[in-house]
Amino acid sequence: PREARQAAATVATSPLVKTAMAGADVNWGRIMAALGRSGARFKPEQVDIAFGEHLVVHHGQGRGEAAEVAARDLILAGPFTISIDLRQGEARDFYDTCDLTEDYIRINASYRS
Task: State how far the alpha carbon of 79 is from the alpha carbons of 3, 28, 56, in Å.
Answer: 25, 18, 18
Nearest CA to 23 out of 64, 76, 63, 70 is that of 76
For domain 2-109, the CATH class is alpha beta
Q: What is the pLDDT of residue 30?
A: 98
For residues 36-47, average pLDDT: 97
Mean pLDDT taken over the chain = 95
Residue 103: how many other CB atoms lie within 10 Å: 9
pLDDT grade, residue 109 (50/70/90)?
confident
Residues 58-99: tens digit of each pLDDT: 999 999 999 999 999 999 999 999 999 999 999 999 999 999
Question: How confident is residue 113, by pLDDT bands cut at 50, 70 and 90?
Answer: low
End-to-end CA distance of the chain: 38
Tell me which amino acid residue 34 is: A
pLDDT, tens only, 14-23: 999 999 999 9
Whole-number Å distance between alpha carbons of 84 and 5:
12
What percent of the chain is predicted at pLDDT more than 90? 87
* Every domain of the chain and the residues it spans: 2-109
Question: Per-residue confidence at 105, pLDDT binned at 50, 70, 90?
Answer: confident
